[in-house]
């Protein structure tokens, strides 16, 4: 939108032309996507912050996998030309959600917030 504000996103919906039964594939994997906005300041240290929403629809194959909206806030800054720090609070609304580990069982189906802190040093 501007040099300081970026909007980003993606959307995935599996569709198949497989002759066996293509309707089965849309029942296994949900529609999913990401939508976000990032603001980057032009001041010293180039600090930035973003809000990201991850989405998935309910799986209709009989698996106990509901749809979800998970919100994450991230921020970061470069303190020197070689050192930067980032932090994120993931799942800020404590949503119960899952990722499909296989096509037959969900890998996790629980709420949970987490704080993620990262550093980077460039040589």
The three-class DSSP label of residue 120 is: strand
Q: Using CA atoms, how far apart are residues 122 and 22, in angstroms rounded to an integer?
A: 47
Q: Please identify which residue in the block is written with the tokens 């529609």.
A: 31
Q: Can you tell me whether residue 8 is helix, strand or coil?
A: strand
What per-residue confidence (pLDDT) applies to 57? 83
The per-residue pLDDT string of the chain (123 residues; one tens digit each, 9 = 90 and over) reads 688 999 999 998 876 655 555 555 555 667 889 999 999 998 888 899 999 999 888 776 656 667 888 999 999 999 998 999 999 999 898 887 776 554 444 455 566 788 999 999 999
Give residues with Cβ within 8 angstroms of 21, minimum separation 6: none
Q: What is the largest CA-CA distance in the chain?
A: 59
Q: Supply the DSSP symbol for 59.
A: P
Bridge-based pairing state of the strands 114-121 and 48-56: unpaired
């Amino acid at each position: 939108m501007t040099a300081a504000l970026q909007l980003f996103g993606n959307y995935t919906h599996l569709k198949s032309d497989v002759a066996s039964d293509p309707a089965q594939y849309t029942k296994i994997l949900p529609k999913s996507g990401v939508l976000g906005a990032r603001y980057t300041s032009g001041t010293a240290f180039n600090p930035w912050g973003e809000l990201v929403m991850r989405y998935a629809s309910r799986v209709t194959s009989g698996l106990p996998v509901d749809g979800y909206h998970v919100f994450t806030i991230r921020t970061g800054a470069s303190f020197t030309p070689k050192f930067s720090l980032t932090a994120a609070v993931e799942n800020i609304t404590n949503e119960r959600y899952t990722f499909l580990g296989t096509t037959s069982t969900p890998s996790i189906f629980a709420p949970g917030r987490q704080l993620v802190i990262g550093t980077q040093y460039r040589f």
